[in-house]
Structure 1
Amino acid sequence: MNTVLLQYALEVQRTGSITRAAASLSMDQPNLSKAIRSLEEGLGAPIFKRTPKGMVPTSRGRVFLEQARNVLIQIEEMEHLYKPDELEGVNFSVSMPRSSYLSLAFSRVIQNLGSQEPMNVWLRETSTENTLKEVESGEYNLGVIQYPVCSEKFHARKIWEKGLAAETVFEYELRLLFSQGHPLAEKEDVEEADLMPYTEIAQGEDGLEYSEEWSREKESPESLKRIYVFDRESQLNLLSHVSDAYMWTSPVPQEALSKFHLVERRCKKSSRIFRDVLIYRKGYSLTAWDREFLGELKKVTKNM
């Protein structure tokens, strides 16, 4: 069961009102009402009843809420067992797509950490869907999701439904990556038709599959040769060693291009515009290290 829902229910009990609880949690009232209904449907019985005095627990609801309070106390105690220095050290967590510029910003944050400070730092590279779930549940404090601008309304609705705050961190046209020895590496204006004879390195499993996102709008044929790879560094290694391979990607920092002997090119007349968006729970206060990460993101993207 989602522990965030338990916290929501206990706040409704404390305030006696959906409206006051939503204000206390810094979330929209409809989202809180939806969350409570979802919790009640999962239990198969109502937790609250509406009275002139406000939202009052049912007899079964009182038992459930007491158990919920005990569960949250036990979880907090367990977390302290594994994170004894939490209040004094560094706690930073982010769920994000596989992206060279995001990895660079994260690495710079770690470099800035004091070597003597206790820390609990978590990085998860995964899909947009997983990131939305992990930030909504509180498993990760920050998330970065990546999607085509053409699907903005769809993703904005999902963010709203999950009661999350969002802000754009980077908007860009997808680039093409080649090895320095690729036949197209020296061509300044690459067209999609030029790619047909070559092998595409694509993100497999739960990463963003660009081609599927574009499938409804693409007019040019897709590559007939494709290799799906789950690991970002393996992708870059393949590109640097397979002379006819290419990959669609977000902009790559120069230091990564140099490390893997790659070149980055824009695709002529491409309309593949993507947006990377920071998400976090409404009511969550960004920590100093969260802001440090955002600062490093701005520095990295400014140079690209």
Structure 2
Amino acid sequence: MNTLHFKYAVEIEKTRSITQAAENLYMAQPNLSKAIKELENSLGITIFRRTSKGVIPTDQGMKFLAYAKQILIQLDNMEAISSPDRSKERKMRISVPRAGYISKAFSEYIAASDPADDMEVYFCETNSLRSIENVRDNGYNFGIIRYNTAHEKYFTDYLAEKNLETQLLWEYEMLAVMSAEHPAAEEEDLTYAGLSAHYAELCQGDDAVPYVPGAVEKLFEANRPAGTKVRRICMFDRGSSLDFLLTVPQSFMLDSPVPDSLCGKYGLVQRRCSFPDNSFRDILIYSAGRRLTDIELALVNRLYEVRNEAAFKEYI
């Protein structure tokens, strides 16, 4: 059995197209089709079937591809052992939510790296479903997803379906983050209902839950006063969000606790903000059976350290 054919099959699954996969692999389409046919014959199964949505794996194909990905990862790890120069490479793709503690940990990790090392790192801030897709289909080493605990079952089932393993990074309550000039910055006993009734809410666009369209909006809608006009601005760039909070001091954002150093840098304050469903989790995700490398573990450890800076602080 030719393990190179495993790579071909994984590429077809990723692109959902034999034509596109052949182009990505720099080979002729007939040669790719022949290689997959030989692989299917040697396994005695059909890996792919054609549909109106493209080429997709069969049930047996899904099981094969899960094992194939693990084998390719292990082969890459074995190559690293025999290549001394590989130990000095930092090649990594990570997909994460927009969170101050994550960006701070990442920046500090890069700052502490050896300038003599080769480096190629992709740091993608996006929503949870896209992070799952990135880890599952787009070659990302690992990801972090964020969800409300009320939706945990949906994410747990979806991650199992995608053959991804998980590790709890942080469970926390969202805080209201706002400019120090915000009219409510010094008020006591802030509530989401009160803030959303009087001020514009800056959202980060992570509003999708597997199998349940509109679940996030329904959750927040249930915590707004009846008849409240919705004033929500969705931004997908963390830097723009911070600038917006300063430029529009009557706005606020719900976020995981932010390290004090970042709040001071951007002139922000963060306050406890009560609402019944205020329980969230950040979860580390990676392919089942995969072991994180030393350089990946170094970043994960830094994430836990920066998390602790914010987690053990008392908020009012």
State the TM-score, normalizing by the size of structure 1. Answer: 0.71
TM-fit CA distance, 1:282: 1.3
Aligned-partner Cα distance in 2 for 1:233–1:187: 26
Contact 1:202 1:209 in 2 (8 A): no
Residue 240 of structure 1: aligned partner: 246
Residue 201 of structure 2: aligned partner: 200
Residue 234 of structure 2: aligned partner: 228
Structure 2 counterpart SS, 1:295: helix
Residue 104 of structure 2: aligned partner: 104
Aligned-partner Cα distance in 2 for 1:225–1:119: 42
Contact 2:191 2:275 in 1 (8 A): yes
Is 1:213 aligned with 2:216? Answer: yes
Worse-superposed segment, 248-257 or 187-196: 187-196
Counterpart of 1:3, as a letter, is: E
TM-fit CA distance, 1:252: 1.0
TM-fit CA distance, 1:176: 0.4
Is 1:3 aligned with 2:7? Answer: no
RMSD: 3.4
Aligned-partner Cα distance in 2 for 1:229–1:282: 32
Aligned-partner Cα distance in 2 for 1:208–1:297: 24
* CA shift in 2, pair 1:15/1:279, >3 Å: farther
Is 1:256 aligned with 2:273? Answer: no
Worse-superposed segment, 228-237 or 252-261: 228-237
Aligned-partner Cα distance in 2 for 1:46–1:193: 48
Contact 2:13 2:56 in 1 (8 A): no
Structure 1 segments, 4+ long, off by >4 Å, are 12-18, 41-48, 85-88, 208-212
Contact 1:101 1:300 in 2 (8 A): yes
| 1:81-100 equivalent positions in 2, closer than 5 A | 88-100=88-100
Residue 289 of structure 1: aligned partner: 295
TM-fit CA distance, 1:234: 1.2
Aligned-partner Cα distance in 2 for 1:44–1:122: 27
TM-fit CA distance, 1:15: 8.6
Q: How many pairs are equivalent? A: 249
Aligned-partner Cα distance in 1 for 2:122–2:112: 16
Counterpart of 1:94, as a letter, is: I
| 1:107-146 equivalent positions in 2, closer than 5 A | 107-146=107-146
Q: Structure 1 regions of 5+ residues with no counterpart? A: 19-35, 49-54, 56-71, 77-84
TM-fit CA distance, 1:209: 7.2
% identical equivalent positions: 30
Q: Deviations over 1:110-165 (max 9, x none)?
A: 11210011112111111111111111125101111111111111000110001111
Worse-superposed segment, 186-195 or 105-114: 186-195
Contact 2:177 2:254 in 1 (8 A): yes
Is 1:300 aligned with 2:306? Answer: yes
Contact 2:93 2:140 in 1 (8 A): yes
Residue 49 of structure 2: aligned partner: 40
State the TM-score, normalizing by the size of structure 2. Answer: 0.69
Structure 2 counterpart SS, 1:252: coil
Contact 2:223 2:275 in 1 (8 A): no
TM-fit CA distance, 1:276: 0.7
